[in-house]
Amino acid sequence: MLVLVGLPGSGKSTFAMKLAATKPEWKRVNQDDLGSRRACEHATKGHIAKGFNVVIDRSNFDPKQRKTWIDIAYQNNMAVDCIIFDVTVDECAERINVRQNHPTQVEGHFGIQVLHRFVSNYTPPLLENPEGFSRIVHLPPRPSPECTAQDIEDAFNILNIATEIPDAAKYRIMDHPRQNHQTLR
């Protein structure tokens, strides 16, 4: 499984669509297309059950957002890798500003507002606390917002030479059972 992390406008969807188009063993799961996170979870599990690799195409802007996908990967004994799209806020804003008919409607002035809301909550995973990811790599911005088959190959080359994180599972965020709190009277 591959989890994409990045701000709106960083190129995640462009990358994921090209990956799914050029490598038939990969299926793209995107909440904008499917409508809800639950639908994405269902699609992810279905693709895995059929033997496909899955690329999670969402912002995945904080550990809680990423935990769902990490848990699904572990439940299916799959490695889960992360690609962080290192695109500056200014570059994301420029891309959003010129978007038209984007499925998320994150475009123009409204899109810039959405971007700035994401910026304040954006916490990419760190190698020091990998959250359960097997490998984490940073993709530098491409000269063009377009994505080619060669860009996909280059990204996988970067991923394949990345050092696997030892004992990645010990960094997983675990669910904590709810405590029963009784009101004192």
Q: How confident is the model at residue 174, as a pLDDT?
A: 66
Q: Residues 122-145: what's their mean pLDDT?
A: 88
Read off the pLDDT band of 136 (50, 70, 90): very high
Distance CA 60, CA 79 (A): 17
All domains of the chain in start order, with CATH: 2-88+124-171 (3.40.50.300)
Segment 22-75, tens digit of pLDDT: 999 999 999 888 888 899 999 999 999 999 999 999 889 999 999 999 999 999
Give strand pairing partners of 54: 27
How far is the C-alpha of 32 from the C-alpha of 185, rounded, in Å?
48
Q: Considering only 16-25, 47-56, 80-89, 171-180, which range has the smallest mean pLDDT? A: 171-180
Q: How far apart are CA 171 and CA 152, in angstroms?
A: 28
pLDDT of 79? 92
Mean residue pLDDT of the chain comes to: 85
17: three-class secondary structure by DSSP: helix
The contacts of residue 79 (CB under 8 Å, 6+ apart) are 1, 73, 134, 135
Least confident of 53-62, 120-129, 153-162, 174-183: 174-183
Residue with tokens 């709810």: 178
> Is the pLDDT at 2 greater than 60, yes or no?
yes
pLDDT at residue 94, as a whole number = 87
Does residue 180 have a pLDDT over 50? no
Mean pLDDT of 137-146: 83
Please calculate the CA angle 113-116-122 and round it to the nearest 5 degrees. Answer: 145
Residue 179 has pLDDT above 60, yes or no: no
Whole-structure pTM value: 0.86
